Chain A
Amino acid sequence: MTNIFGYLTSSLSRIPYRTIRDAGLFFLLLAVIWEAAVRIFKIKSYLLPTPTEIIKEMFQSSPLLWQHSLVTLNEVLLGFVAAMVFGLLIALAVFFIPLFRRTLYPLVIAMQGVPKVALAPLIIVWFGYGVSSKVIMAFLFAFFPVVISTLGGLATTPAHLIEHFRALKMSAWDTFWKLRVPSALPNFIDGCKVAMPLAVIGAVVGEFVGSSDGLGNLILLASGSSRTALMFATLFAITFLSLLLYLIVELCGSFVWWRAR
């Protein structure tokens, strides 16, 4: 884990200093305006807590936030990895097997049209209040971008390179591994970048609909006891989690720097 953080800081250090400084100052400015507005207009804390209250809450409830974050992180990661693996496999199957292109692909497209939020109650009924239903929700949210991007990548393998491989008498196997896979890889990574935050949303939606722990559940608990500051603290925790996971995907993706043209 320390390794990943080391990589992350090094990749963050590549962002220009000015960008970091300006973004930081801007966020600070927003926080100050927020704080001032709440105090000046005497907005009640259970409606809108001040940033200082939220930060205080984050420290006080840090064991709670940490514990629920780990639950959600576990669900998100399992769902995301499943989406990556199955998304890749289904994209390959649809691309290379005409029968699947005529059957599985329309099913995938049709399922994409189903509002996945509305599926949550059904998933809870089928898979219970535990981890598995949230993993499936995360999977359902993250799955489509992976399939669609990977398919796009496979389909747009440059025709002149395919012909070149033919002229070089490369085998179908070599054409797959040495041409199609590396040329679709950037698109697959792009799909994963879109999928990662979606997996977080999926897991949280699942927790909203029925769960006993996780950050989504914590928001419900906080709301039930009118602890608005805790709600905000949890919201920030979800945002941090999502951002962190996205950066990790981005970092892994930076090893695929090329674009096939």
Chain B
Amino acid sequence: MSIIPLMKQTEDIASTQSMTETSIIVDNVNKVFGGTGGVHVLDNVSARVADCEFVSLLGPSGCGKSTLLRIIAGLESCDSGSVEVLGRNVVEPGEEVGIVFQTHNLLPWRNVEGNLALSIEKTLDAGEVRELVQKMIGTLGLQGFEKSFPHELSGGMRQRVAIGQALVRNPRILLMDEPFGALDALTRDRLNLELLRIWQAERKTVVLVTHSVVEAVVLSDRVLVMSDRPSRVIEAVDIDLPRPRDPQSIREAPEFGECVVNLNRIMGL
């Protein structure tokens, strides 16, 4: 397993990963909340994410990993530095990016179908919308809940719908901000498995913010470990575990334990 300090070595990382194309470039991003003298959240953060790569941002809570994700998503601006997604400078949310937040963002007055259709009903005609929604319901394993409203669903199912909302537009990049943080361990594992399946089937670039070391190891190709505020990427850790992975059985692999121990050490635990 290779541990490569990330800063100013992004080219090396790209070569070790034998990447064909880079889809996200974060270059020396700084972010201070509350103007001068405010909270310095991101300190010269640089990172690269390859096409179809699964990268996790791991760090203590409040370290600014969510902020970094929001900057990549175009929901927040950075004070200096730049973010490029698919070759375009990010200034606002883009078409090619789907976002899943920790709290599901379902509309309480729309049922599962309605929520899934929300982002595509304007651009596509009714037949196409129905077809895509139907397909998404199949992908998410939500058959039988098409007409259910969010308050009638379990937390895990709501989060599935939220993921579907992001995926239904078929974005090339999926950004996830602790999407399973509010779920119980069992549901979390199950959704991890499904996320892996979807990712393998649809080949998307995924950036996942998490504070769970295990989740990061189970899912990622690479884990970027971030420090406390002002946050930097301390290390980029490759997770060379075989794929396809199963969240349950993979934990028994000796390499899995090594990765977890190693990441914990880096995080200073």
A residues apposed to B, CB below 8 Å: 160-161, 163-164, 166-171, 174, 178-179, 182, 258-261
Contacts and interface: CB of A to CB of B under 8 A. Distances in A.
Contacts of A170: 118-119, 122
A178 B97 CA distance: 21
Q: Which of B99, B107, B149, B151 has the most CB of A within 10 A?
A: B107
A166 B151 CA distance: 23
16 contacts: A160-B103, A160-B105, A161-B105, A161-B107, A164-B99, A166-B75, A167-B93, A168-B118, A168-B165, A168-B169, A169-B119, A170-B118, A171-B122, A174-B122, A178-B107, A178-B118
Interface in B107-163: 107-109, 118-119, 122, 149, 151
A182 B118 CA distance: 14
A164 B108 contact: no
B95 A169 contact: yes
Interface of B: 73, 75, 93-95, 97, 99, 101, 103, 105, 107-109, 118-119, 122, 149, 151, 165, 169
Given A161-B107, A163-B75, A166-B93, 7 more contacts: A163-B105, A164-B105, A166-B75, A168-B119, A169-B94, A174-B122, A258-B109
The 5 closest A-B pairs by CB, nearest first: A164-B105, A258-B108, A168-B119, A258-B109, A167-B99
B78 to A, nearest CB: 17
Nearest to A257: B109
Contacts of A258: 108-109, 149, 151
Nearest to B149: A258
A60 to B, nearest CB: 50
A118 B97 CA distance: 60
A167 B75 contact: yes
A261 B104 CA distance: 11
Q: Which of A161, A164, A179, A182 has the most CB of B within 10 A?
A: A164
Contacts of A171: 122
A164 B101 contact: yes
